[in-house]
Structure 1
Amino acid sequence: MASALAAGFGDPVFDTQAVFRGLMSAIAYPGRVVLIDRILPTPAPLNVATTALCLSLVDFETPVWLDHSGGSQDVLSHLCFHCGMPVTPDPGAARFALIADAVAMPRLSDFDAGEVEYPDRSATIVIQVPSLTDGQRTSWRGPGIERPTLAAIGGLPENFWQDWDLNRETYPLGVDVFFTCGKAIVGLPRTITVEV
């Protein structure tokens, strides 16, 4: 028997605007934990923050790549219905990538870093992690950070921060990242230097 499709936002306009403001705050102030204060059904294994981000930013013009864990039939049905998004099997063709299993994620260089003429056309990667505070301690600096910010994102692959250094060096090209955990989100734009 097919599972029932979960509802989206209770008030699509108001909720989308509220989540969008939270996402912009997370990207404007890298390393800051921002709470998404919406009550929202989520298809397993996606959390509230990831689902809310998708409902706010993804639409029929946004090719999305999902990892094996995040590409369940429930997730596909939910997001394709509520967002109308096309799904691509090629991470390099995606504008958004949803990663539910961070440890097994592809290398950052597998995703589209944009073009010299259009660096804004790069991919945004959403990475679900088990914790935003109990991982390897790192120091972040760059635009939006007045003083170096300490962050401890948990559950990332060993090569992630090396990949991030390579990604940052390609600026203005490069991917941007949102880390999500439960209802919380942390933004990591390509401009940020991370010291481990």
Structure 2
Amino acid sequence: MDSQVLDGGFTHPVMQSQTAFRAVMDALANPGTIQALGLGLLPPKPLSPELAAVALTLCDHDTPLWLDPSFANDDVLAWLRFHTGAPVTSARAEAKFAFTREPAMVLADFDQGSDAYPDRSTTIVLALPTLGGGSALHLAGPGIDGSSAIAPQGLPADFLAQWAQNGAQFPRGVDLLLVADGALIGLPRTTCISPKEA
């Protein structure tokens, strides 16, 4: 393996991973807010810098991850294994983290956790074209003062129906991170999402 393929990770791992971790935690604690990652990573294509930042921050040898098949080339797999040590699984239901850009993604395909251990569900990291300029969505729920709105582009066509089903099985269900534009938006399973009121 060419050593250059393994370049492009954190240049200051402790500081940068702490910055990215804080961004992820703030995004999930304050659904709908856009949190900057801004880490300048250069992972192998087609893995995006945003996906790479989340992977390097949250994944380790104890966290199986699932990759959208369009990402899973030899260079990406080697890069992730080198920088995270995380095992890659082909079974969506076994993944603790899933990284995808698939607009037809099905939330229910991933680990939903259990009533006893809801925290064992999959966190899905979805790469989008952009976090703005799409159809506006209304957010409400824990961590939101009154209500909020987002307008990402590239969500699954049936996203609202899938998200309603995801929330209906609380405390089970997946959490979602939307990434693009050097930033992310967190959508924990407790967030209620509906079409934006006119």
CA contact (8 A) 2:98 2:123 kept: yes
Instruction: State how 1:59-74 maps to structure 2 within 5 Å.
Output: 59-74=60-75
Corresponding position of 1:89: 90
Corresponding position of 2:99: 98
Alpha-carbon distance in 2 for matches of 1:98, 1:37: 19
Identity of matched residues, %: 41
**Count of residues in correspondence between the two structures:** 194
TM-score by length of 1: 0.94
CA contact (8 A) 1:142 1:192 kept: yes
What letter corresponds to residue 126 of structure 2 in structure 1? Answer: I
1:75 aligns with 2:76: yes
Alpha-carbon distance in 2 for matches of 1:104, 1:66: 14
Corresponding position of 1:158: 157
Alpha-carbon distance in 1 for matches of 2:27, 2:36: 9
Corresponding position of 1:180: 179
Alpha-carbon distance in 2 for matches of 1:48, 1:7: 9
TM-score by length of 2: 0.93
Structure 2: state its 5+ residue gaps: none
> Secondary structure at 2:6's aligned position in 1?
coil
What letter corresponds to residue 131 of structure 1 in structure 2? Answer: T
Structure 1: state its 5+ residue gaps: none
Alpha-carbon distance in 2 for matches of 1:194, 1:163: 11
Corresponding position of 1:126: 125
Alpha-carbon distance in 1 for matches of 2:51, 2:70: 14
Alpha-carbon distance in 1 for matches of 2:73, 2:158: 26
Deviation at 1:157? 1.7
Corresponding position of 1:191: 190
Deviation at 1:4? 2.6
Alpha-carbon distance in 1 for matches of 2:8, 2:130: 26
C-alpha distance after superposition, 1:112-138 (max 9, x if no partner)? 110111110000000000011122211
Deviation at 1:6? 2.0
CA contact (8 A) 1:16 1:56 kept: yes
Corresponding position of 2:167: 168
- Aligned-residue RMSD, C-alpha: 1.4
Deviation at 1:140? 0.4
What letter corresponds to residue 98 of structure 2 in structure 1? Answer: A
Deviation at 1:156? 1.4
